[in-house]
A and B are shown apart, each in its own frame.
Chain A
Amino acid sequence: GDSVTQMEGPVTLSEEAFLTINCTYTATGYPSLFWYVQYPGEGLQLLLKATKADDKGSNKGFEATYRKETTSFHLEKGSVQVSDSAVYFCALMDTGRRALTFGSGTRLQVQP
């Protein structure tokens, strides 16, 4: 079945540091890939998405590129802020099954 694997957290960075959160996936079809963010006490918000190989999703300074050859969708940001502290979830939606399969989440803590 489908699965998503994310790097374990927490990831602790200083403000303005470069961020990478690794995500790899296994899917039977041709999935769309997503990153969601969950701020403390809130629901999940879509951060970015990519629907086919080599697509790059971007939003609020975050980027991720759909790499079919490595089955990866790593999240990057060039300069993190304290306000980016949250839990980040990688997810996929496979063809034929209209539901998201999530990774385990990675907590990011950004220190001033």
Chain B
Amino acid sequence: DTAVSQTPKYLVTQMGNDKSIKCEQNLGHDTMYWYKQDSKKFLKIMFSYNNKELIINETVPNRFSPKSPDKAHLNLHINSLELGDSAVYFCASSPASSYNSPLHFGNGTRLTVT
């Protein structure tokens, strides 16, 4: 029944590794997002896809690459992980029909880079 689900919930890895986080939504939404929450709880948008098309790409290192195989999935791949990538990453979705529709968030993936 989970509307927006992310896996894994926790990810601990070493510097230099490559890792992926997966996100799926079953709400029938057209738009999906990745947000990063730092240690001070500040949330910042990274990417947004609408129906598999990239529409927002904030100033994010190109080590981060989103992939949307279909409109229900938005995965995040991170190459050459750095200590500063440690954060909680949230996936979200919203319907494309209205700009004021709220976003629905997953429970987050806590990434720890050692």
Main secondary structure of the interface of A (DSSP, over half): strand
Decide if A34 is an interface residue (CB 8 Å cutoff).
yes
Q: State A97–B42 Cα separation when bound (angstroms).
A: 20
B99's contact among A34, A89, A95, by CB below 8 Å, is which?
Answer: A95
State whether B41 touches A104 (Cβ < 8 A): yes
State whether A99 touches B56 (Cβ < 8 A): yes
Residues of B within 8 A of A36 (CB): 105
| Binary per-residue interface labels of chain A (74-112) against chain B in the complex, 1 for a CB within 8 Å, 0 otherwise | 000000000000010100010111111110110100000
Q: State A51–B55 Cα separation when bound (angstroms).
A: 23
Q: How many contacts A-B (CB < 8 Å)?
A: 57
Q: How many positions in chain B have a CB within 8 Å of any CB in the partner chain?
A: 26
Q: How far is the CB of A68 from chain B (nearest CB, A)?
A: 15
Residues of B within 8 A of A97 (CB): 56
Decide if A46 is an interface residue (CB 8 Å cutoff).
yes
A49's contact among B4, B31, B48, B100, by CB below 8 Å, is which?
Answer: B100
With contacts A98-B31, A99-B48, A99-B56 known, is A46 near B94, CB below 8 A? no
CB interface residues, A 34-67, toward B, < 8 Å: 34, 36, 38, 42-46, 49, 51
Residues of B within 8 A of A51 (CB): 100
| Binary per-residue interface labels of chain B (78-110) against chain A in the complex, 1 for a CB within 8 Å, 0 otherwise | 000000000000101010100110111111100
Q: State A32–B102 Cα separation when bound (angstroms).
A: 9
Sort A-B residue pairs by CB-CB distance and give the 8 closest, nearest first.
A32-B100, A43-B105, A43-B107, A102-B43, A44-B105, A105-B41, A46-B102, A51-B100
Question: Residues on A close to B: CB < 8 A?
Answer: 32, 34, 36, 38, 42-46, 49, 51, 87, 89, 93, 95-102, 104-105, 107
15 contacts between A and B (CB under 8 A): A32-B99, A32-B100, A34-B102, A38-B41, A43-B4, A43-B90, A44-B92, A44-B103, A45-B105, A97-B56, A98-B31, A99-B45, A102-B42, A102-B44, A107-B41
Question: Residues on B close to A: CB < 8 A?
Answer: 4, 31, 33, 40-45, 48, 50, 55-56, 90, 92, 94, 96, 99-100, 102-108
